[in-house]
Structure 1
Amino acid sequence: MLRNRLARHPLAVIVIAQLFGTSLWFSVNGVGLALSEAVALSDTGLGLLTMAVQAGFITGTLIIATTGLADRVRASRLFAIAAVTGAVINAGFILVAGDLHLGVTARFLTGLCLAGIYPLGMKLVVSWTPRYAGAALGWLVGMLTLGTALPHLLRGATFELPWQWPLLLASGLALVAAWLIHSLGDGPELPGPAPGGRPWAGLAAFGCGNFRASAFGYFGHCWELYAFWTLVPFLVGREIERLALGPGWLPWLAFAVIALGLPGCVWGGRISRWLSSFNVARLTLAISGTLCLLYPLLGDAPPLFLLALLAVWGLAVIADSPQFSALASATAPRARLGAALAIMNAIGFAMTLPAIALTTHFWSQQELGVMWWLLPGPVLGLLALHRMNRHALREI
């Protein structure tokens, strides 16, 4: 039976499905340069398309949390429905790309579908591999990172082809993700679908001091993360121009910077087994925060040096995310874990909107100076971690 075969390696199945499903997230950013030339899309317009995905994701997480869908419907079923719907809408963007308003609507709906992929993927990981949540979530978030970078790779591989091809390929991968998760099903380590529950049940988790601290650390991390990922093509493009390289280098280098988050997450997950999720989150958040502070001061440094710093930043900027998720998963009420994670994701991704808006709007005026807009995120995250009751965390 297919399910039995997949259940032998559930983590591998889930993380591959996460990779394929989240390729929808930045699918438009991956073709941003070609799209700008094809439909005269400005930097601000690209920022609006990116924020629309974030806004859709926030709305979707709030819906599944407040309606109880996160805990009343099986995670595998919700994941599969969201992935199929997202694949169709992502492909449909091709038809409306020339109209910014319709494009924003399509990207909002794509983000709405992603709310059924990412948080539910976390719940599936916990349901199948609860013992080493930090390490397992490291793989999951690493695949989210690689999924985010994947559109740049698809664009690099199809650079001579029309810009529509990477979007269609991303939609195809999302369909495969739906099939994988639907075939695998839910794991045995969580209770079945809850029969009901009051709206906003996930907010009850904020009554726990350690969950609250881990959530606020995650919020600071989110402020920095997606704005940085949005800026990666701008930052890489600046150094490519200084090196007098052709534009074909842009998607490959942008992919490399973002994709380095995968080994960052996996490395963080592995060392969390002996260093603890708390310490890994604190260390990697401090590294990315330091780069927020210093990078604008180094604008005249050699381009290769700045590209190397971007590689380090790409490695560290996401490595704390699975550890925050592991801390939140361990301290949230078990019966409402899905709702608590969905609420945390909704608030965290709401933090990404002003950060993306500020940095994309001021890029043409401030260039590297916009990175200072990201600094409050790591500062908030580190302050939140400082308030955690570490003695109650034990081995987490």
Structure 2
Amino acid sequence: MNSNKSTRRILPIIVVSQFLCTSLWFAGNAVLPDIIKLFPAEPNLLANLTSMVQFGFISGTLVFAVLAISDLFSPSKVFFTCGLIAAAFNLAVCIPFNDVHMLLLFRFLTGFMLAGIYPVGMKIASDYFKDGLGKSLGFLVGALVFGTAFPHLLKTFTGYFPWQYVIYATSALSFAGAICIRLLVPNGPHRVAGQKFKFNSCLDGFKNVQFRSAAFGYFGHMWELYTFWAFLPSMLLFYNSTHPFAALNIPLFSFLVIASGGLSCMLGGLLSQKYGTKNIAAIALSLSGLCCLLSPIFLFTSSAFFFLAFLFLWGLSGTADSPLFSSLVARHAPEALRGTSLTLVNCIGFAITIVSIQVINLLAKEINSRYIYMILAIGPVFGILALLNKKTDHV
């Protein structure tokens, strides 16, 4: 495993495994119309179902950070274990029950175990690819995006089958991804033996201006991204409902728009090698922020072409900066706590998504829905200001 050839083949394995396991993330959202039929008295099920996965992920990342799991133990073994357990919790939502709280509990537990998959996958990549980390994480986060979108595609192809088939399939994929990592990806050559978590030392990373700039940029990015993903099917449904002759396939276009962000992650990682990580991140964040501001125009246009073109532009720009922020965080984190630092920043970022999702859900009932998504521009503006800090110009 010391040869360059062996190391090069590791990245595709990590990418594929990340894709397979993160297909669990939006599995519940993909079958939401079917689940709503089981709980018709739950008007906020979309926001709550998504938020519970995010809350589970936040809780998991916090626990993983406090215990320094991915630094003290083999990251591959952590990924393997969490992938199997997450698959089981995902499968549990197929158990017939009448209490919606049980459904939310299993989605929470699935999110909790995803904390041992997404940030740990980035930790594994950083242990193998110290140089060119932006490109490596571009492919890795691209796999996350494809994994997130994939349940919508499954729903498209299994539309004539019970909704449980989507859950069965995503659990099987997670199981396969966990096995791949365990059998084919040992500890990386750049892995540094970890140390026990120390709260003060973990926060010391924020004293580093480059680390702080990257983290705050990521936080602004997260305010927008998952809320856009969560409400994307609603945007498509609204367009169909307001245009009598429109018949957009909601699961299919939900998949295509979200999955397009996977391509931009990979492209952003490649471009960052030539034009600079911070520069590409700032361009992507500016474009997605512009999409938020222009949403009152293009989400309510009568042209299906411009409506879909706008959604694809938003999907492409909204994710292109994600691996770049992670790369900057990993680069400037304390070396012995790199995995913990990535996990902690993920934890804060996903906590922000819960606030954003609930804010949009609540305000949609109070103000003109035409302008509701402009609120998401707050995140990109905040992130750009963090990136434009002159002290980080050399990053």
Shorter-chain TM-score: what band? over 0.9
The verdict on how the C-alpha distance between 1:200 and 1:96 changes in structure 2, with shifts beyond 3 A counting, is: farther
Q: Contact 1:76–1:184 at 8 Å: present in 2 too?
A: no
Q: Name 2:11's counterpart in structure 1.
A: 11
Q: Quick check: 1:65–1:339 contact (8 Å CA) kept in 2?
A: yes
- SS at 1:90 equivalent: helix
Displacement, 1:126? 1.1
- CA distance in 2 between counterparts of 1:134 and 1:112 reads 26
69 and 237 in structure 1: CA distance in 2 versus 1, 3 angstrom threshold: same
Q: Which amino acid aligns with 2:315?
A: G
Which residue number in structure 2 is paired with residue 52 of structure 1? 52
Structure 1 CA distance for aligned equivalents of residues 96 and 52 of structure 2:
15
Deviation (angstroms), 1:240: 3.0
Q: Does 1:329 align with 2:333?
A: no
Instruction: Report the residue type matching 1:26 in the other structure.
Output: F
| Alpha-carbon distance between aligned partners in 1 of 2:380 and 2:57, rounded to the nearest angstrom | 22
Q: Does the Cα contact within 8 Å between 2:130 and 2:190 map onto a contact in 1?
A: no
With the length of structure 1 as denominator, give the TM-score of the two structures.
Answer: 0.93
Given the superposition, is the C-alpha separation of residues 367 and 129 from structure 1 closer, same or farther in structure 2, using an over 3 Å criterion?
same
Tell me, yes or no, if structure 1 residue 149 matches structure 2 residue 149.
yes
Aligned partners of 1:6, 1:250: CA distance in 2, in Å?
A: 42
Between 187-196 and 10-19, the greater mean CA deviation after superposition? 187-196
1:260 counterpart SS class: helix
Name the SS for the 2:162 alignment partner. coil
Structure 1 segment 115-194 matched on structure 2, within 5 A = 115-194=115-194
Structure-2 separation of matches of 1:370 and 1:390 = 33
* Residue pair 2:195, 2:336 contacting (<8 A) in 1 also: no
SS at match of 1:19: helix
Following superposition, the deviation at residue 39 of structure 1 comes to 3.3
> For residue 360 of structure 2, what is the amino acid of its counterpart?
T
- Cα distance change of structure 1 residues 98 and 360 upon mapping to structure 2, 3 Å threshold: farther
Structure 2 CA distance for partners of 1:146 and 1:368, relative to 1, 3 Å: farther
Match of 1:350 in 2: 351
In the other structure, the counterpart of 1:65 is 65
Specify whether residues 84 and 235 from structure 1 end up closer, same or farther in structure 2 by C-alpha distance, changes over 3 A only: same
1-structure distance, mates of 2:161, 2:235: 24
Cα deviations across residues 33-77 of structure 1 (Å, max 9, x unaligned)? Answer: 222234326451121111011011111111111112121011101
Tell me by how many angstroms 1:278 deviates: 0.2
Percent identical among aligned pairs is 36
Quote the RMSD (CA, aligned, Å): 2.0
Whether 2:221 is the aligned partner of 1:221: answer: yes
Q: 1:147 is matched by which residue type in structure 2?
A: G
Q: Secondary structure at the match of 2:44?
A: helix
1:239–1:200 Cα change, 3 Å: farther
Give the AA of the match of 1:271. L
Instruction: Check 1:207–1:104 CA distance in 2 against 1; reply closer, same or farther (3 A cut).
Output: same
Q: Quick one: distance in 2 between partners of 1:31 and 1:41?
A: 17
Partner in structure 1 of residue 252 of structure 2: 252
Aligned to 2:34: 34
Instruction: Give 1:364 shift.
Output: 5.4
Distance 2:8 2:269 in 1: 21
Residue in structure 2 matched with residue 94 of structure 1 by the alignment: 94
Q: Distance in 1 between matches of 2:146 and 2:182?
A: 22
- The corresponding residue for 2:82 is 82
Cα displacement string for residues 209-248 of structure 1 (whole angstroms, at most 9, x for unaligned residues): 110011000000000000000011011122233263447x
Q: Give the equivalent residue in structure 2 for 1:290.
A: 290
Distance 1:43 1:228, change over 3 A: farther
Length, aligned pairs only: 390
Q: Normalised by the size of structure 2, how large is the TM-score?
A: 0.94
* 3-state DSSP of counterpart to 2:23: helix
Structure 2 unaligned blocks of 5 or more:
none
Give the corresponding residue for 1:382.
384
Q: How far is 1:190 from its partner?
A: 2.5
Matched position secondary structure for 2:127: helix
Distance in structure 1 (CA, Å) of the matches to 2:105 and 2:91: 13
Which of 367, 373, 376 in structure 1 is aligned with 2:375?
A: 373
Q: How far apart are the structure 2 equivalents of 1:389 and 1:133?
A: 22
Q: 1:84 to 1:92 in 2, by over 3 A?
A: same
- What amino acid does structure 2 have at the position aligned with 1:319? A
Shift of 1:32: 1.2
Query: 2:221 is matched by which residue type in structure 1?
Result: H
Contact persistence 2:220–2:383 (CA under 8 A): yes
Quick check: 1:236–1:307 contact (8 Å CA) kept in 2? no
Q: Shift in Å at residue 391 of structure 1?
A: 4.4
Query: What is the Cα deviation at residue 369 of structure 1?
Result: 2.1
User: Equivalences for 1:268-279 in 2 at 5 Å?
Assistant: 268-279=268-279
2:308 maps to: 307
How many angstroms apart in 1 are the aligned matches of 2:373 and 2:334?
Answer: 36
Aligned counterparts of 1:174 and 1:6: Cα–Cα separation in 2: 24
CA spacing shift, 1:107–1:57, aligned 2, 3 Å: same
For the residues of structure 2 that align with 1:313 and 1:96, how far apart are their CA atoms? 37
Distance 1:272 1:5 in 2: 23
Stretch deviating more after TM superposition (353-362 or 227-236) = 353-362
**Long gaps (5+) in structure 1:** none
Question: How far apart, CA to CA, are the structure 1 residues paired with 2:291 and 2:41?
Answer: 30
Any runs of at least 4 consecutive aligned residues in structure 1 with deviations exceeding 6 A, and if so which? none
Question: What is the CA–CA distance in structure 2 between the aligned matches of 1:43 and 1:312, rounded to whole Å?
Answer: 30
